[in-house]
Amino acid sequence: MSTPSQTPVLEASNISKRFGGVKAVNDVSLKVMPGEIVSLIGPNGAGKTTTFNLVSGVLPPSEGTILFKGQDTARLKSSEFARLGIGRTFQNLALFRQGSVVENLLVGRHIHFNYSVLESLAFWGRPRREEIAAREKVEQIIEFLEIEELRDKPVSQLAYGQQKRVELGRALACEPSLLLLDEIVAGMNREEKEDIARFTLDIRDEFGIAVLMIEHDMQVVMDLSDRVYVLDFGCLIAQGTPAEVAANPAVLAAYLGEEGGHV
């Protein structure tokens, strides 16, 4: 778990994002410390995915600053965020459907390849070493996610829950310091959700990877999160431990409804 002296893995300060006259994210601040699982929740249209897009470099903020391990990301290209140590899954699967599980996971290793085109033609020395290391890492991830029997199957032939595991594996293949999970259990049955919850805890505990997740499943949020941030209409309306957020009147009113709502 984190200590007060540690530098946050991610620290967003007063970030906002405008689309024309609409402010999708309005003066939001959040941080993720090493060893934490942090959730970002809120109703549909609250600005959660836009916030994810800001902290992962897909979109530049209109205002505010974003630090990753103390480094200002303002001048970084979106392609550089993965190299910096940010891995991400997407709400809508972004896999190569005709590629095998192994091939999809290897895509996540490309940021670690440092050989030139000319070197690759010979496939000796550094290219060979890096390719062998990439395949070893991929095999470790396949074993970790318990998908050994699927390794050579095209992704298009996999069940939805299995595809979600592959998407998670590809993000892990980048060897991130921060993993962004965008509704990772959406559309899953109970058993599949329990598996992903177990993997998420192991990712934090075994690999030391901090996690920031968007999630609508409140049971998953309450079971996994160290801290929770709540957005509504692009604004941060609450933050704290799961228990604190669950008892917050603003959350009950805005997110769960004043009558019959519970976390």
pLDDT in tens, 66-116: 999 999 998 888 778 888 889 988 877 778 888 999 998 988 776 655 544
Which among 7, 100, 39 is positioned nearest to 239, based on CA atoms?
39
Please give the domain boundaries of the chain with CATH numbers for all domains. Answer: 1-85+179-263 (3.40.50.300), 93-175 (3.40.50.300)
Tens-digit pLDDT profile for residues 42-78: 988 899 999 999 999 999 999 999 999 999 998 888 7
Q: Where are the alpha helices (DSSP H) in 38-159?
A: 48-55, 80-84, 101-107, 117-122, 126-144
Q: What's the CA gap between 63 and 214, in Å, rounded?
A: 22
DSSP state, residue 146: T
Give the up-direction half-sphere exposure of residue 85: CA atoms within 13 A in the CB hemisphere: 14
Provide DSSP, 190-221.
HHHHHHHHHHHHHHHHHH--EEEEE-S-HHHH
Count of CB atoms situated within 10 Å of the CB of 9: 27
Three-state DSSP state, 38: strand
Burial class of residue 100, CB neighbours in 10 A (0-12, 13-18, 19+): middle
With a threshold of 0.95, does the pTM exceed it?
no
Q: How confident is the model at residue 1 (pLDDT cuts 50, 70, 90)?
A: low
